[in-house]
Each structure stands twice: as C-alpha cells, then as structure tokens.
Structure 1
Amino acid sequence: MPNKPERPCRITLGDDGPLLVEGPVEITGPDGSVAVSDRFVVAVCMCRRSRMYPWCDTSHRRRARPGERHDTAD
C-alpha cells in the first residue's frame, strides 16, 4: 500500500471495457498472487476473459454482450 499519496489515485470506469487506473499499480488477487505494473496508466480486466488477467488484453471486444443480436441479411 502506498504511504500518504500526494493526490488520490484516479480510476476511470468505462461502460463496456476495462478499469483504467493511473499507475504504478500493485494488484493482489483473491489467491494472494501479486501483479505489478509501473506503467503510467494500466487497464485492469473486469470481464475475466483476458489471457493476461488481471491486465486487459481487449478480449471483451471479441464476444457479443448478453442480449445482443447479430442478424445476417438473407
């Protein structure tokens, strides 16, 4: 955990994408594993489809959202 940050950490929520967090970041998973990134902004996966979890690899873009239809012309 950071010691007394100069300003609050900025987190940006998107409608259908990752959680954007100003870095550097350290994420502790439910199993106790730790992922660290020193990037300026990191994208944290919220859909759990990422092969790089907890980091987003844009896998959320490859699947239709629940309720979406993709009709084809006959």
Structure 2
Amino acid sequence: MSKVQIKVMDNGSLRITGDVELIDMEGNKFDTKPTFSLCRCGLSEKKPFCDGSHKGKFQSVVRAE
C-alpha cells in the first residue's frame, strides 16, 4: 500500500492523496480518485466530498501548536 496523505486546507476541505478506501457507516464504498477532498463545512451538495461551497463562507479554527 502506498503512502496516504491527509492535508487540512486552511478554511477549506481535507485533501486526501494516496491509495485509500472511503467507506460509509454501513460499509458502502465510495468511488474515489487518487486525490480527492472531503467537506468540513457542511455546505457541499456532494457530501462527503467538497464541491467548493465553503469559499468565503467557512473559517477553520486556528492551527494546533
């Protein structure tokens, strides 16, 4: 299995890169690409994926130190 990277985007989504399976609570697998973004703001019409609806409307919390 290749390395998986999860990048927390400032005021945006979670960017997932690598060979990963995304599965819902019932065990259903989502079709994903090698890089995809997950919604953090709750505004996306394509949940759990980000569709860019957060732009100008979502502010993430301050980064951990």
For this structure pair, what is the TM-score category when the shorter chain's length is used for normalisation? 0.5 to 0.7
How many pairs were matched up?
Answer: 59
- Greater relative contact order structure (CA < 8 Å, 6+ sep): 2
Give the alignment's TM-score, normalised by structure 1: 0.61
When Rg is computed on C-alpha atoms for both structures, the one with the higher figure is 1
Give the alignment partner of residue 44 of structure 2, picking from 28, 47, 50.
Answer: 50
Give 1:50's aligned amino acid.
Answer: S
Gapped regions of structure 1 (runs ≥ 5): 66-74
The two structures, once aligned, show a CA RMSD in angstroms of 2.2
Mapped to 2, the partners of 1:64 and 1:18 lie a distance apart of 10
Give the alignment's TM-score, normalised by structure 2: 0.67
Between the aligned residues of both structures, percent identity stands at: 27
